[in-house]
Amino acid sequence: MRLSCALLTIALASTGAASAAALDAPHTLHHPRSQHLVESHHAHHAARATVHESAKTPARAAVRRAPKAASVHAGHHTSRVGNGAPTIRRASLHGRHRYYERFTASSFAGSDQFSGDLTTGEDPIVRQAAIDALGDMNGTALVIDPSSGRILAMVNQKLALSPGAEPCSTIKITVAMAALSEGIVTRDTMVQLPGFRMNMTQALAKSNNLYFEELGRELGFERVKHYANEFGLGELAGWHIQGEQLGTYPDQPIPASEGGVGKMCSFGQGVSMTPLQLGAYVAALANGGTLYYLQHPTTAAEIAGFAPHVKRTLDIARYVPELQDGMAGAVEYGTARRLRTSFTELPVFGKTGTCSNNGTRFGWFASYSEAPQGSLVTVFFLEGGRPTFGPRAAELTGAFYRNLWDHNYFINKPVQATASAIPVESTTAGQGVDQ
C-alpha cells in the first residue's frame, strides 16, 4: 500500500528566525509528489502542526564516527528540486505565506466503532480504560503485555487489524536501532546538519527529520530494509489472529525524486505498518529483545491454553538504553509531552507520528511504561482530519494511564513473573513476509 504525507508549512519572514528555530521545527525537504508534515516542538499548542520551509533535498553526506569526540560531520548539502511544484493552496497573510491542506476525513466516530470487537480474553479494566481514553476519536488502541506478547485489549479491532497506514515518524525508532546496531552513531554522537548539530536523544525527542534522513542515507536501503524486517515490519505480527491483514515493507526504495531512502527513514514513506506490527516491535524494546508473536485469545480453550510464542530474539538489549533516552525525552519535553498533562506517576517512553494521505490525517503514538508490576505497551492510532495528530494520540495515552491509575490497576496487580515462551520458527506457514 502506498501512502504519502502532506505538508503544512509556515515560511518565516527572516533567515535569522529560521536558524533560531532549527531544533524546535526542523527543516522539511520538499518533493513534487510528497509534502511532509513535521511534528514540531510546539505541536502540542495547536491541533495543526507547522514546520519551516527548507531548502531542498540534500545530497548524501558522509557520516563518520569520531572515536572519542563523539562528533559526526556531514558534507555540504546542495539544493535540488524535482520537476513540477507542490499542489497546495497558498494564501497571503501580512507578508507571510500560509500553506493549507484540505482534510476530508472526520476525526470523530460513534461508540459503535467498538461494537464488533471480540473481548472474551481481554482484561476488562484495561479495555475500559482504553475505551474511555479514546472517547469519540476515530481510532484504535492496542495494549500488550511485553513479557508474553498477549494482547490485553484491542479496541476497534476492525481498524487495528487493517492493512495499516504510513508509520509517519514512528519509523524513526526502527532506524535509530538499526544505526545503533551498525555502530554508525551512539546516542551522544553529534551529527552536523545544515545550520545545527544534534544527537540521537535530541532527534528522537524533537522528531527531527534531517537527522534520520542522514542516518538512512548512511545505512543505505538494504541495511534499512534488513533491520525493518528483523523488527517485524513486512510480517504478520499475530499468532493466528483472525482477520489480521498485512502491512508491507517495499523491496525497493522509493524514487530519489520522492526522497529515496532518506524519506523512508524519516516518515516511512512507501511503507505500510499496522498497529500490531508497531506494538510487537515496541514490546521487544520493553523486554530487552524478544520479539513475540502477538496473541489475542478469544475462546475459553485459547485462554486456558495460552503460552507465549517467540518469533525471534533480537540482539538489541545493549542498545535499548541509548534509544530509551530519546523516547523518554519525547514524553518529558518533546513531541509527546501532552501525555504528562494527565499522567506523571510512572516513567513512559514513546514516539509520536503525524502524516496524511488523500485528505486523511494519521496520528500515532507508541509507548511502553515501567512499573514494579511490569511494563505495558500501548499503540494509539488515530485517523481523521485536522484534530488528528501524533501529540493528540500521546495525550490520549496519558488519559489511558490515568484511568488505570485511578482504578488502582498498578497497585492491585501482582508482580509479573517471567513467562515461559515456546520458540517458534519465524517462517511458520502463514506468518512470513508477504511476497
The string of DSSP codes covering 219-252 is H-HHHHHHHHHHTTTTB--BSS-TT-------SS
Strand 190-193 relative to strand 196-198: parallel, antiparallel, unpaired?
A: antiparallel
Provide the 3-class DSSP secondary structure of residue 344.
coil
302, 280 Cβ separation under 8 angstroms: no
409: helix, coil or strand?
helix
Cell numbers representing residue 346 in the block: 510512572
Total Cβ atoms within 10 A of residue 40: 25
The residue written with cell numbers 485511578 in the block is 406
Detail the DSSP E strand segments found in 69-158. 71-72, 89-93, 96-100, 139-145, 150-155
**Which pLDDT score is estimated for 373?**
82
Mean pLDDT of the chain: 80
pTM attached to this predicted model: 0.76
**Closest residue by Cα to residue 375 from 254, 284, 295:** 284
What is the rounded CA–CA span in Å between residue 399 and residue 49?
A: 21
Rounded to 5 degrees, what are φ and ψ at 267? -130, -5
**Torsional sign, CA 64, 69, 71, 76:** negative
Contact 38, 352 (CB under 8 A): no
Query: Cα(123)–Cα(152) distance, rounded to whole angstroms?
Result: 5
Q: What is the pLDDT of residue 325?
A: 97
Cβ atoms of 316 and 181 closer than 8 Å: yes
- In 3D space, the residue among 14, 76, 49, 83 whose CA is nearest the CA of residue 361 turns out to be 49
CA angle 105, 106, 111 (to 5 degrees): 135
Report how far residue 65's alpha carbon sits from residue 295's, in angstroms, rounded to the nearest whole number: 41
Residue 404 CB contacts under 8 Å (≥ 6 apart), including other chains: 125, 126, 129, 410
Q: Classify the C-alpha dihedral 202-207-211-217 as positive or negative.
A: positive
pLDDT of residue 112: 87
Nearest to 315 by CA among 182, 200, 185: 182
HSE-CB for 421 with a 13 A CA cutoff: 21
Write out residues in the chain with pLDDT < 70, as ranges. Answer: 1-100, 414-435
8 A C-beta contact, residue 9 and residue 192? no
Distance of CA 254 to the CA centre of its chain: 19
Query: What is the Cα–Cα distance from 327 to 343, expressed in whole angstroms?
Result: 16
Nearest C-alpha neighbor of 87 from the set 50, 33, 8, 49: 33
∠ CA 17-21-26, nearest 5°, is 125
Judge whether 423 and 382 are in contact, CB under 8 Å.
no
Reference 38, options 18, 56, 52; nearest CA is 52
If we measure between CA atoms, which residue out of 396, 373, 370 comes closest to residue 384? 396
pLDDT of residue 88: 30
